[in-house]
A and B are shown apart, each in its own frame.
Chain A
Amino acid sequence: MASLPISDSNFTLGQAPLFGDPAISADRTFHAYVHIPFCRVRCGYCDFNTYTATELRGSSQAGLASVLQREIAFAKTELETQGFAPLRPATSVFFGGGTPTQLPASDLATILRDLRTTFGFASDAEITTEANPDNVDIEYLSALQKAGFTRVSFGMQSAVAEVLATLERSHQPANVPAALAAAKKVGLQNSVDLIYGAPGETLQQWRTSLEAAIEMQPDHISAYSLIVEPGTKLARQIARGELPEPDEDLQADKYELADELLSAAGYQWYEVSNWSRSVETRSVHNLAYWRSQDWWGFGPGAHSHIGETRWWNAKHPATYQKALSASDLDQTLVNSPAVGSERIDSKTRWIEKLLLEARIADGLSIADVKVANSEANRVISQLIADKLIDAALALRGRIVLTLQGRLLADYVVRELLG
């Protein structure tokens, strides 16, 4: 992982990072991310920060809600102390993992209640949790809805048993439609995540998965290209020759097929890997990342972005818990669980803006590109000629990727940065 602690003059282990000038955050919305680092089993491709029961050492699943509660209180104190009062209500909350639904619905409800009490939520706040289709039923989903959740995102990945086996996903393909139907029934907005490019997956198998997802008519579909992360079991299997290496050209074919089938079914792309049935069902939380809003990431390994600073928490739940354990008798003083931070100066902020906003359908303003790239006009005209950005929109001052451009988004960004 690249997220190793970075020595940073305004960062001291145990103390909260310094957020910098609150004015930077004046026109940003505030969001909360909650990381639930538990899984029943670890999937072969996964390098996310998650732990099975046997890997938890001194921490426990049951204890997490109360530890998170401390970080929430800590966040309030720090934000207020560092000039971010009054606290902004959260525009979105997202529970990710791991598998948040490894916890009982009541735990998720408790954590959500703490967040609401501390920050308050915007009236139309989007409150999402990721869910494993295997461990939710209508009662569970109903409990979430009652607790204030508005949205659920299912890790479907594929509809093909063989592909799921390669990914080592344990869920039954048949559980997904049932879970999704239940979500609809209790009135939760819904989304499914798909992964394409598992070793050995054919284009036809991918089509089957896409069609199965569309068939369920979720509000939102994400399709992620499988990335073989170093250190995963999958990477080792490929290195040993047990599984074939993903073919980037086939991946491109699959992306194009996804866009074709999803568009035909009425889903519009709004970010490279995300499609929704309407502007209203785009993920507010997801867009917050791409638009560099402020968010506090709670939980082990979570990343945060407030003001001029990005930071990240200790990854292991036990280390995380230890930092937040009360260090005095009143149980009020706690240490920050952050293990690294990075100050984002204005140049870096500009780079990030281009890097992130280029990926969304609303695109990037050409004026922003010109801020630091004197060659912008030449680059943009070449990108139009290469059909990587939309010509008509470029004439109106915005850079929006074409289908071909989305597949080469990183190249486009490098060009724009000059």
Chain B
Amino acid sequence: MSPRATSRLEPAKTNPEFIRNFCIIAHIDHGKSTLADRMLQLTGVVDDRSMRAQYLDRMDIERERGITIKSQAVRMPWQVDNQVYALNMIDTPGHVDFTYEVSRSLAACEGAVLLVDAAQGIEAQTLANLYLALENDLEIIPVLNKIDLPAAQPEKYAEELANLIGGNPEDCLRVSGKTGIGVDALLDKIVARIPKPVGDPNAPARAMIFDSVYDSYRGVVTYVRMIDGSLAPREKIQMMSTRAVHELLEIGVSSPEPEPTKGLGVGEVGYLITGVKDVRQSKVGDTVTTLNKPATEALKGYSDPKPMVFSGIYPIDGSDYPNLREALDKLKLSDAALVYEPETSVALGFGFRCGFLGLLHLEIITERLEREFGLDLIATAPSVVYEVTTENGEQITVTNPSEYPTGKIKKVLEPMVKATLLAPKDYVGTIMELCQQRRGTMIDMTYFGTDRVQLRYSLPLAEIVFDFFDQLKSKTAGYASLDYEDDGHAEGDLVKVDLLLQGEQVDAFSAIVHKDKAYAYGVMITGKLRELIPRQNFEVPIQAAIGARIIARESIRALRKDVLAKCYGGDISRKRKLLEKQKEGKKRMKMVGRVEVPQEAFIAALSTGEEKKGEKKAK
């Protein structure tokens, strides 16, 4: 066992020979953050007293949900055979919504720890990230975590890992992030196996931005990996994509608290502060160079994040609209992937059409808006982007069902995804059935070991944004895992279903669905609303329609009685207060024509199921 390092290598002067840059690839819940905690403790960068669980996960949501949204980098000293090394651990987001950020984090490393729960085996998300790591030519160190669990089956899963990446099952390290067993051996192995960074110290500076975080005190903090050359404080730096020039106010490393340094050299990982206030000026994937001696060629791999899922976000209390705008403006500072524009809905009033990387991203943003800014929000059912071509050749991009053209339509293209599903083989039938229902086409099926199967499907994104993941989990007792990637567009037989309340269209409930599912959607939404809208003093028909054709109909019977029988003993105050309460209640109603619809009805009808949210939180 290696001792704690007796000294630390000074940043900016570190020989790349003694630098190791690595990340940890793991599925949610497989213990990445706990393992990171142990490494921080073992290397002594965080003393036992200030240690807290999931040290690196800064946002409340991250810690509560046990997932990492924004990646971080930590520099840790480690000594092997009397030589001190600097290990840079780059924490990557684990979720598929953040694939782009993952790929940038991977590009900043030479190696990856592939962390797998010894009681659960490899999951689809891990496979997806493993694939990305191999694409980036990273050295992979397979590690089984949670070996202290009674249910751990390290032999079985070591075999599985060996089959997957080659090598012997014995090469697979066994650790417990919880107890710390094997963590020192892992650090030793990182030093031994992961290649040193290679770069030209004399070339013009090139640093790749792998994360960009907004800090309300210090502005944007940009995390970089130096590829070539070096950067020093007070230097003028330039972003290669925008050519924007900033002064380097501070440069340093995280250990894990920020420590200003005299600069960063080849192979080092650290942060930059320039005083900019908007992460859009410091985009993930961009290359940083200096103004005096600029590089000519940017590093590869930069692309703008593209929103995949859209949802209308409205304040429940209309007077919160300016606050919502302000909150989104603030979140945008730290989340380059969030896009939004004002939108109005007849039913919901003023709000914003927001674009997200995926469903988790949507959920995280709405939750942050509610939690960090104290807003009560309604999010409309998520939808995807359709490319519609009308009969007369007009091309329309539809991010909101209300933009769907009314005339004749020649063709509709919908976004597709390639989904990777991993589950015990007993669930193959169930999964195939579910994918079939969701208009999926199977690409292939692969067995891992004796009892686990990987299914790959081509699926319309629209089919998975709603409740696919919940269905998958409930139909497979939670065993199946899902990962998906963008797979272009395909033509779909789609129609727009409108909802009419007493003949008036309610935009918030319009949806673009496959022709074969229009009827089921119509029946579902009319039925749901019949339960949710209170009786009015006239009959209210609820209809679902495709164009002028009614496909489903329900009706709310007229309310016949709304009167208090008597006022006992002259207690008029009581009666008047009851009336005032009723009037208060009326204020919370949204009027659709003459129909009073309680706000709650919109929320309940639009939510894809409250239990879903609870379930995810419970994990």
Q: Which of B562, B563, B565 has the most CB of A within 10 A?
A: B563
Chain A proximity mask over B535-576: 1 for CB below 8 Å, otherwise 0: 001100000000000000000010111111111111111111
Binds A, one of B22-30, B252-260, B579-587: B579-587
Separation of A251 and B563 alpha carbons in the complex (Å): 11
B52 contacts partner chain A, Cβ-Cβ < 8 Å: no
Q: Is the CB of B569 within 8 A of A301?
A: yes
Separation of A273 and B564 alpha carbons in the complex (Å): 9
Binds B, one of A73-81, A116-124, A174-182, A409-417: A409-417
Separation of A384 and B37 alpha carbons in the complex (Å): 73
B59 contacts partner chain A, Cβ-Cβ < 8 Å: no
Known interface pairs A289-B572, A301-B569, A312-B571; A408-B579 also in contact (CB < 8 Å): no
A407 contacts partner chain B, Cβ-Cβ < 8 Å: yes
Q: Is the CB of A407 within 8 A of B565?
A: no
Q: Is the CB of B569 within 8 A of A407?
A: no
User: A224 to chain B: which residues have CB within 8 Å?
Assistant: 565-566
Instruction: Place the interface of chain B in its size category.
Output: 20 to 34
A26 contacts partner chain B, Cβ-Cβ < 8 Å: no
* Residue of chain A at shortest CB distance from B560: A252
Binds B, one of A9-17, A156-164, A350-358: A350-358
Q: Is the CB of B567 within 8 A of A408?
A: no
Residue from B537, B570, B574 in contact with A408 in the complex, judged by beta carbons closer than 8 Å: B537
User: B572 to chain A: which residues have CB within 8 Å?
Assistant: 289, 292, 303, 305, 310, 352, 356
Q: Which of A33, A289, A301, A386 has the most CB of B within 10 A?
A: A289
A297 contacts partner chain B, Cβ-Cβ < 8 Å: yes
Chain B proximity mask over A391-418: 1 for CB below 8 Å, otherwise 0: 0000000000000101111110110010
Q: Is the CB of A410 within 8 A of B565?
A: no
Separation of A35 and B569 alpha carbons in the complex (Å): 8
Residue from A251, A297, A409, A413 in contact with B569 in the complex, judged by beta carbons closer than 8 Å: A297
Q: Is the CB of A248 within 8 A of B561?
A: yes
Q: Is the CB of A272 within 8 A of B577?
A: no
Q: Is the CB of B576 within 8 A of A351?
A: yes
Q: Is the CB of A273 within 8 A of B565?
A: yes
A388 contacts partner chain B, Cβ-Cβ < 8 Å: yes
Majority SS at the chain A contact face: mixed
B396 contacts partner chain A, Cβ-Cβ < 8 Å: no
User: A351 to chain B: which residues have CB within 8 Å?
Assistant: 576, 579
A96 contacts partner chain B, Cβ-Cβ < 8 Å: yes
Residue from B557, B568, B574, B582 in contact with A410 in the complex, judged by beta carbons closer than 8 Å: B582
User: B185 to chain A: which residues have CB within 8 Å?
Assistant: none
User: B576 to chain A: which residues have CB within 8 Å?
Assistant: 348, 351-352, 355
Q: How distant is B188 from chain A, measured CB to nearest CB, in Å?
A: 67
Known interface pairs A2-B578, A355-B579, A417-B583; A410-B562 also in contact (CB < 8 Å): yes
Q: How distant is B574 from chain A, measured CB to nearest CB, in Å?
A: 4
Residue from A304, A386, A388 in contact with B570 in the complex, judged by beta carbons closer than 8 Å: A304
Chain A proximity mask over B520-540: 1 for CB below 8 Å, otherwise 0: 000000000000000001100
A295 contacts partner chain B, Cβ-Cβ < 8 Å: yes
Separation of A272 and B582 alpha carbons in the complex (Å): 19
Q: Is the CB of A289 within 8 A of B567?
A: yes
Known interface pairs A303-B570, A356-B572; A408-B586 also in contact (CB < 8 Å): no
Separation of A408 and B537 alpha carbons in the complex (Å): 8
Residue from B538, B557, B567 in contact with A386 in the complex, judged by beta carbons closer than 8 Å: B538
Q: Is the CB of B574 within 8 A of A2?
A: yes
Separation of A304 and B557 alpha carbons in the complex (Å): 41
The count of residues in chain A whose C-beta lies closer than 8 Å to any C-beta of chain B is 48
Q: Is the CB of B561 within 8 A of A249?
A: yes
Known interface pairs A224-B566, A303-B570, A356-B572; A2-B560 also in contact (CB < 8 Å): no
Chain B proximity mask over A306-330: 1 for CB below 8 Å, otherwise 0: 0000101000000000000000000
Q: Is the CB of B537 within 8 A of A1?
A: no
Separation of A224 and B567 alpha carbons in the complex (Å): 10
Q: How distant is A201 from chain B, measured CB to nearest CB, in Å?
A: 15
Q: Is the CB of A414 within 8 A of B569?
A: no
A225 contacts partner chain B, Cβ-Cβ < 8 Å: yes
User: B577 to chain A: which residues have CB within 8 Å?
Assistant: 2
A255 contacts partner chain B, Cβ-Cβ < 8 Å: yes
Separation of A406 and B560 alpha carbons in the complex (Å): 10
Q: Is the CB of A227 within 8 A of B564?
A: yes
Q: Is the CB of A273 within 8 A of B566?
A: yes
* Residue of chain A at shortest CB distance from B561: A252
Q: Is the CB of A410 within 8 A of B579?
A: yes
Known interface pairs A303-B569, A417-B583; A386-B561 also in contact (CB < 8 Å): no
Q: How distant is A349 from chain B, measured CB to nearest CB, in Å?
A: 10
Separation of A342 and B577 alpha carbons in the complex (Å): 12
* Residue of chain A at shortest CB distance from B557: A249
User: A407 to chain B: which residues have CB within 8 Å?
Assistant: 560-563
A48 contacts partner chain B, Cβ-Cβ < 8 Å: yes
A237 contacts partner chain B, Cβ-Cβ < 8 Å: no
* Residue of chain A at shortest CB distance from B585: A414
* Residue of chain A at shortest CB distance from B581: A2
* Residue of chain A at shortest CB distance from B575: A355
User: Which 8 pairs from chain A and chain B are nearest by CB?
Assistant: A252-B560, A2-B574, A409-B563, A224-B565, A225-B565, A252-B561, A303-B570, A411-B562
Query: What residues of chain A have their CB less than 8 Å away from a CB belonging to chain B?
Result: 1-3, 33, 35, 48-49, 96, 224-227, 248-249, 251-252, 255, 272-273, 289, 292, 295, 297, 301-305, 310, 312, 342, 348, 351-352, 355-356, 386, 388, 404, 406-411, 413-414, 417
- List, sorted by A's number, 25 A–B pairs whose CB atoms are closer than 8 Å: A1-B574, A49-B569, A224-B566, A227-B565, A248-B559, A248-B560, A249-B561, A272-B563, A292-B572, A297-B569, A303-B570, A310-B572, A348-B576, A351-B579, A352-B576, A355-B579, A404-B560, A407-B560, A407-B563, A408-B562, A409-B563, A411-B537, A411-B562, A414-B583, A417-B579
Given contacts A388-B537, A404-B560, 17 further A-B contacts (CB under 8 A): A2-B574, A33-B569, A48-B568, A226-B565, A248-B561, A251-B561, A273-B566, A302-B570, A310-B573, A312-B571, A342-B573, A351-B576, A386-B538, A408-B559, A408-B560, A410-B563, A411-B562
